[in-house]
Structure formats: C-alpha cells, structure tokens
C-alpha cells in the first residue's frame, strides 16, 4: 500500500479535527493521519456493494421478544 | 506449578460447586485459595485492576454459615469469580480500564453481576481490560496484562484480564464482554473457553457500552460445561435492558450429550484463508477432522462478503465510540492512552455516508451468515488469525498508511462477522503453536441456538485434551 494522491494530509486532518472542536496535537497527528487514510481505503469496497439488498437494520432484535 | 492447592484451583466451576454443596469444600477455604493465587501470581500477570479481598472473605463466611445451616444455596454457591472492569459493581470501583474513570464507584451491580451473586457466586475482583474495551491499548493504566503461556505475549483484548485469570486459575470463572471478539480473542490467546451469546440473550444493563448493537456479556471458563452452567444463569429477559429476548432459557448443560452425529458443519473458506497463519489453519482443519470422526458432516462453505467485515465493524463500532467520547476527547484528551485517543480521533473524522455504507455491508454480511446457517447447523473457523502476538507489537510506531492498514484493519475479519450478524459463538482451545501458545476454534450457530453450539464444542473438547493443559507459571 502506497500513499495516493487522494490521501489526506496532516494539515487537512488537523483542520477536520478543529472543525469538530478536537485539538489533534502534533504527537497524535501523524498516526491519526495514517489511520484515517488507511481506514478510508479499507472502506472503499463497501461503497461498491449494490445499493439493493437487505435493509440495514442496526440490531437483530429477537422477533419473538414481544410478550 | 507446585502448590498443593493448584489441582483444586484448576477444577471446573461445576465440580467445585458440587464439592461446596456436599460440604467437601468450604467457601472460605476456596476464596482464600484463589486470593492466595492472585497474591502469588498477579504481580506478573496483572489480570486484576481491583481485588475485593475483604468483601470476598466476608461473603465467603456468610456462604459457609448458610451451608452449615443446611441451606441449599444457588448453583454457584461459594464460588469465587471475577469480572471485567467494564461491569458495574455496587460499592466497588469500576474503571473500564481508563484513568478517566479511576474514581468511579457505581451504586448498583450490572445485571450479569447481580445474577451471578444471586446464584451464590462470590466476587473476588475486577479484571484488567483494554481501555474502554476498544482494544489496542499501548500503556495500560493499571498494569500490562500478560499471557500466562508466555509473559512477553498479549493476552488478547479487550477482556484480556478475564482470559488471563481464567487460564491461570485466579478465579473459578470470569466474565468478559464481546463486541467484535473481545471474549473470543482472549479465550483463544489464553487457551480457555469463551462464549459470545446471541445478541439480546444477555442483559447489557450496567455494562459500559462499546456498541449498543453488538455488545454481549459472556463467560470465560476452563471447560465448555462451565460455560454452559454460567451462561444459563446470565441469560434471560431483563426489564432494565428492554432489548433482551423473552425466550425461555434452555438448560444448556443438559444439551452436552457428546453426540454430534448428523450435524452439518460448514468450514468457512474465507476465514481459513484471508491472513490466517498456517498453524491456526492446520489446527482448525484438524478439529474439523475430529468432528467428522465424531459423526458430524463437515464441508466447505464460502461467505464472499466476510472480507468486508473488519472494515464495516470498525466503521460502526468506532463511530459509536467516537460519538460517546466527544466530551472527554475535548476536555481530557491527555487522560486517554495514546492508542485509544488516536483511534477515537480517527473515527470522529469518518464521513457519515461511510457509516451508512458500513451499515449496508453489515446487513449483507448478516444475510450471508444466516443463509449459510440455514444450510448448516454450525460454522467452523479459527477464532483468530494465529496465536497471541508479542506485546511489543502494539508499541511499534505507526509511520505509514501501510502499517496502519496492517495493524488496525488487517486482522479483524475472524471475530467480527458473528458480531455483525448477532449470532452465538463458542471459542474452544484446539491446539498450540510451535511457540507454545494456544490456538482457538470458533463454532458459530443460529440465533438463540447456543445449545447446539455448546454441544458441538463440548463434544470436540472431550475428544481432545487441549483443555487439560495448564500454563507453565512458576511461583
């Protein structure tokens, strides 16, 4: 895995954090940037799944739970 | 191990309960036995965050008086247990493995703790864990938990202390909590049995939440029979957790017939490949042969969406965590372990659209798992990609995207599919690596069919001797 042109930079990650009120300090910024870029790459295949299919119900609540 | 009490300490919870019930064993002596082992061994293992010695001895004296009065007691009467520090305990500090909650003392027991106490069990302490049950902690605020089979290796997370305390017989049994493998991982790495039940079978009340839609409390024990015993006491509806199932809880121990003839078991291709180390793969295939000889029909099954499970799980779970921690991330970031803080920062920055794509992926994975379980009674796979890694691995700096991808997103496909699907899994020991570290087998079943999962795990356990081995600790 190599850095790509779409990878976020440290400055961009710091700005994203600031927009949320998070002060991502210099000790954390390098790793957070690598983590976020790796995370976004790992999620790319999810966007390629067909939009149709099972409904995204958050939790499999037991259908027999009602008394 | 050379202490004369060792054999007793390693006896199963069921056997110990019978000895207490028949007055062959005093609850006071039993509590003192385990507390002495904690005193002797936990300086190195660091399984415990808090030891409740005074409270445990007082409860043991009361349990002994009850036995002397001829009282029958509950099914766990006089048995010492310990719980992950994620579960509330009335009057006893509950840190969730973090400095942020160092002084937190709940007023009420979590439902699972209350149920075990009502069954007669005696709480001896609170167990170490990854900070906020998120895994990946670099510097544990209450000491680095260590794998009893090899002290330089991780015990797994996030219920690491539960795995250590069970494997090293520091309690008769323990409780853990599993969101994406947090019971099963420590069970596999430490060589114990661990149960993640169907989501909704066990109350979440009083457990610090990681991901509400995937959190499940469950036992870690040295035998499958003990897990069946404890799970039967934990399970069942709880008015304090309105999403618990109202189904009648079966007698799981009665299901342990040793008979797996006719069971159809799917050996999951994607979890045998996909980064699984050769020793873990070989141990799983050997276990499949054992189950085949016992009369089960084992055949390969493919679940093509499973490789997406790790990323989907992380997007869902970490986003929930990030939302829950926003205030502390802004006000007390320095009080987190650096790995937890960086993980939560990262998840805070994920676009909402990706969260919803992950939710769709979860639905697809759940559909695939349930579809496979429509054709098979059980699914079989390695619990983890390999044996416990060295502790030092977590301390290596993350200096590139490739390292981040490998470290944080490359190894989560083994535990997460069952979490996303909400189905039950039992992790059971299935061998050892060439380095002497345990390997684990995962048996996954249909929703609320814990009985079949435990039956197969028990049959496999009894056909092998992995569960009889003890870690090579020295006093």
**Shortest Cα distance from B265 to chain A (angstroms)?**
23
Beta-carbon pairs below 8 A across chains A and B: 159
Domain residue ranges in chain B: 6-468
Helices (H), B11-52: 13-21, 27-45
Alpha-carbon span B61 to B27, nearest angstrom? 7
ipTM of the complex in this document = 0.93
Residue A17 within any structural domain of the chain: yes
Residue A26 within any structural domain of the chain: yes
Residues of B in contact with A65 (CB under 8 A): 200, 237, 243-247
B84 classed as catalytic: yes
Here the tokens at position A23 are: 């002060």
Alpha-carbon span B69 to B85, nearest angstrom? 34
| Percent of chain B surpassing pLDDT 70 | 98
**pLDDT band at residue A62 using 50, 70 and 90 as cut-offs:** confident
Q: Do residues B117 and B87 make contact, with C-beta atoms less than 8 angstroms apart?
A: no
**pLDDT band at residue B1 using 50, 70 and 90 as cut-offs:** very low
Mean pLDDT across B85-102: 98
Mean pLDDT of chain B: 96
Per the structure, the count of domains in chain A is: 1
Would you state the pLDDT for residue B143? 98
The predicted-structure confidence for B302-333, as pLDDT tens digits, reads as follows 999 999 999 999 999 999 999 999 999 999 99
CATH architecture, domain B6-468: Alpha-Beta Complex (3.90)
Residue in chain A lying closest to B418 (CA): A60
The predicted-structure confidence for A19-57, as pLDDT tens digits, reads as follows 999 999 999 999 999 999 999 999 999 989 888 888 888
Would you state the pLDDT for residue B295? 98
Residue A38 within any structural domain of the chain: yes
Mean pLDDT across B438-455: 98
Residue A2 within any structural domain of the chain: no
The residue range of the domain holding A16 is: 10-44
CB contact burial B74-96 (16+ within 10 A = b; e otherwise):
bbbbbbbbbbbbbbbbbebbbbb
| Percent of chain A surpassing pLDDT 70 | 88
CB-CB under 8 Å, A42 with B349: no
Residue A52 within any structural domain of the chain: no
Residue A64 within any structural domain of the chain: no
B413 classed as catalytic: no
Mean pLDDT across B448-458: 98
The residue annotated as part of the active site, out of B84, B207, B227, B433, is B84
Residues of A in contact with B447 (CB under 8 A): 60, 62
CB-CB under 8 Å, A40 with B354: yes
Residue A66 in this model has a pLDDT that exceeds 60: no
Alpha-carbon span B386 to B394, nearest angstrom? 16
The predicted-structure confidence for B2-14, as pLDDT tens digits, reads as follows 466 789 999 999 9
**Shortest Cα distance from A21 to chain B (angstroms)?**
7
**Neighbour count for residue B465 (Cβ, 10 Å):** 9
Residue B92 in this model has a pLDDT that exceeds 60: yes
Phi, psi torsion values for B216, nearest 5 degrees: -145, 130
Q: Which string of DSSP letters, residue by residue, matches B195-237?
A: EEPPTTTB--TTB--S-TTT-EEEEEESSHHHHHHHHHHHBS-
B227 classed as catalytic: no
The predicted-structure confidence for B114-149, as pLDDT tens digits, reads as follows 999 999 999 999 999 999 999 899 999 999 999 999
**Shortest Cα distance from B353 to chain A (angstroms)?**
9
Would you state the pLDDT for residue A54? 87
**pLDDT band at residue B412 using 50, 70 and 90 as cut-offs:** low
Report the residue from B342, B398, B409 with minimal CB separation from A42. B409
The predicted-structure confidence for B274-313, as pLDDT tens digits, reads as follows 789 999 999 999 999 999 999 999 999 999 999 999 999 9
**Shortest Cα distance from B340 to chain A (angstroms)?**
11
Residues of B in contact with A40 (CB under 8 A): 350, 354
Residue A15 within any structural domain of the chain: yes
């Amino acid at each position: 895995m190599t850095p790509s042109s779409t990878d976020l930079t440290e400055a961009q990650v710091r700005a994203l954090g600031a927009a949320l009120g998070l002060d991502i300090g210099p000790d954390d910024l390098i790793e957070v940037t690598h983590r976020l870029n790796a995370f976004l790459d790992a999620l790319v295949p999810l966007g390629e799944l067909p939009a149709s299919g099972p409904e995204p119900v958050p939790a499999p609540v037991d259908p027999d739970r009602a008394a | 191990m050379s202490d004369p009490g060792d054999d007793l300490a390693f006896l199963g919870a069921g056997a110990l309960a019978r000895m207490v019930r028949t007055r062959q064993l005093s609850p006071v002596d039993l509590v003192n036995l385990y507390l002495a082992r904690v005193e002797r061994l936990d300086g190195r293992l660091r399984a415990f965050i808090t030891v409740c010695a005074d409270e445990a001895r007082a409860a043991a004296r009361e349990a002994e008086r009850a036995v002397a009065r001829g009282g029958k007691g509950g099914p766990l009467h006089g048995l010492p247990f310990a719980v992950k520090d994620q579960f509330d305990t009335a009057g006893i500090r509950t840190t969730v493995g973090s400095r942020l909650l160092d002084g937190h003392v709940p007023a009420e027991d979590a439902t699972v703790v209350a149920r075990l106490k009502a069954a007669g069990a005696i709480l001896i302490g609170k167990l170490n864990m990854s900070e906020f049950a998120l895994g990946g902690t670099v510097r544990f605020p209450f000491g680095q938990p260590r794998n009893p089979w090899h002290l330089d290796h991780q015990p797994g997370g996030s219920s690491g202390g539960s795995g250590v305390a069970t494997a090293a017989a520091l309690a008769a049994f323990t409780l853990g909590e599993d969101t994406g493998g947090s019971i099963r991982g420590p069970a596999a790495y430490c060589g114990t049995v661990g149960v993640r039940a169907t989501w909704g079978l066990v109350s979440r009340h009083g457990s610090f939440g990681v991901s509400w839609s995937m959190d499940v409390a469950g036992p870690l024990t040295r035998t499958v029979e003990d897990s069946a015993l404890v799970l039967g006491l934990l399970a069942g509806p709880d008015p304090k957790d309105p999403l618990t199932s109202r189904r009648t809880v079966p007698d799981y121990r009665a299901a342990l017939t040793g008979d797996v003839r006719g069971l159809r078991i799917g050996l999951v291709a994607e979890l045998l490949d996909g980064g699984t180390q050769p020793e873990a793969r070989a141990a799983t295939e050997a276990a499949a042969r054992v189950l085949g000889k016992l009369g089960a029909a084992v055949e390969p099954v493919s679940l093509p969406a499973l490789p997406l499970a790790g990323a989907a799980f992380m997007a869902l779970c970490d986003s929930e965590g990030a939302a829950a921690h926003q205030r502390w991330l802004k006000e007390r970031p320095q009080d987190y372990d650096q790995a937890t803080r960086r993980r939560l920062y990262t998840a805070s920055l994920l676009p909402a659209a990706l969260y919803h794509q992950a939710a769709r992926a979860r639905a697809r994975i759940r559909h695939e798992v349930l579809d496979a379980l429509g054709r098979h009674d059980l699914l079989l796979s390695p619990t983890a990609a390999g044996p416990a890694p060295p502790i030092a691995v977590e301390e290596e700096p993350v200096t590139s995207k490739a390292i981040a991808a490998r470290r944080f997103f490359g190894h989560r496909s083994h535990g997460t599919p069952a979490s996303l699907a909400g189905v039950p899994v039992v992790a059971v020991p299935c061998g050892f690596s060439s380095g002497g570290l345990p390997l684990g087998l995962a048996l996954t079943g249909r929703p609320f069919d814990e009985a079949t999962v435990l039956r197969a795990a028990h049959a496999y356990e009894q056909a092998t001797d992995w569960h009889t081995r003890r870690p090579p600790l020295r006093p």
